[in-house]
Amino acid sequence: MRHLEQSQRSGVLAQVNLSFFKGAQNYGPITIGSPGQDFNVIFDTGSADLWIPSVRCLQENIPCQRHNKYDSAYSSTYEPIGKAFNITYESGQVMGYLSKDIITIAGMTVKDQVFAEATHESDIFANSLPDGIMGLGVSTIAASQQPTVFENMVSQKMLPAPVFSFYLSQDLSNGSSSVLTLGGTNPDLYTGNFTFLEVNAPGFWQFRMDRVRLANGAGTFCRHGCEAIADSGTPLIVGPIEETNALNQKLGARPIAVSPGLFRFDCHHTGHLPDVEIILNGQKFPLTSSEYVIKLKSVCLSVFSGMEFASGTISRWILGASFMRSYYTQFDGGTYRVGFAKSKHLSNSQ
């Protein structure tokens, strides 16, 4: 895996204030082109491409028509590429073609950024408030086979260090206090020291997880260690469905019949549930019931969600936004490691 060069850094920290959409998608503003065209994008560490809707998207493609669209004719810095683009996520597919322009994020302008103009999006994107996705994974998994925006910020010496970090607010009704920091970390937003884990899979922010267990001793999962990914683009904590089913059952949650892999709690009995401990590099990262139960009106949803992995693929746990809301997360592209420290939320910082 190619490490990002750390020498001769002269840039400054950049901060992007993030918003929530339905308590799931963490997104923020960017502009593309000269003059800048405004977009909101999901910042996703589980992918490595930037795409936004194109003015040339098909008229009948409802997801595209509902969002802001990039028009290269109005940008003096646009450069055509034209190569076909196709990416498939767990939730849907995006197709289009590649273009090049300047990208401005947090007041910093990235030159010669290749991105995709989407001409077709799966229907699932129709009700998404953000316009597109900015991947913060490593470009070795990029469908475009091009450097990410973050990698270009590093190579263009815009940042003091090849590091970015997330602070996600626990207030799902108001995500304006969530922050993406580019170039380092913000000590005001976490407490204590980081626990670091070496990345062990090219392209993904993947590392070894020791185990998952109930603090009351009622159950242990990922018993012999397993692979895990820190993924800001996944709202829940996802694991192999047989393990998360067993975990939820030990907690007294009931399956949601219409949504395999999802469980719900009786909202009147969540106050006495045990902590769930995620063990990383020998350190405990506990989640209390207030952190792993999401209250949505009259429904109390478990953040532990199950997924069936295809035969021949590696079963992974995904530590998504539900974990990252409790633990400030640092992604280091210089040494390729992920670090976690306890988030300093307003409720526990005074």
Query: Which positions are annotated as active-site residues?
Result: 44, 231
| Alpha-carbon gap, residue 340 to 172, rounded angstroms | 21
Q: How many CA atoms lie within 13 A of 13 on its CB side?
A: 11
Residue among 285, 281, 293 at smallest CA distance from 190: 285
Amino acid at 43: F
Taking the mean position of all CA atoms in its chain, how far away is CA 90?
A: 13
Q: What are phi and psi of 97, to 5 degrees?
A: -150, 160
**Residue 154 buriedness (CB in 10 A; 0-12 / 13-18 / 19+):** buried
Contact present, 101 and 72 (Cβ < 8 Å): yes
Residue among 350, 331, 16 at smallest CA distance from 204: 331
Residue among 71, 83, 84 at smallest CA distance from 38: 71
Helix, strand and coil content of the chain, in percent to the nearest 5, comes to 15, 45, 40
Structure tokens at 266: 């009786």
Q: C-alpha distances in angstroms, 150 versus 121, 157, 215, 250?
A: 24, 11, 38, 41
| Alpha-carbon gap, residue 46 to 309, rounded angstroms | 16
User: Would you call 241 helix, strand, or coil by DSSP?
Assistant: helix
Measured between its terminal Cα atoms, the distance across the chain in Å is: 42
Segment holding 343, helix H or strand E: strand 337-343
In the 8-state DSSP scheme, what is residue 159? S
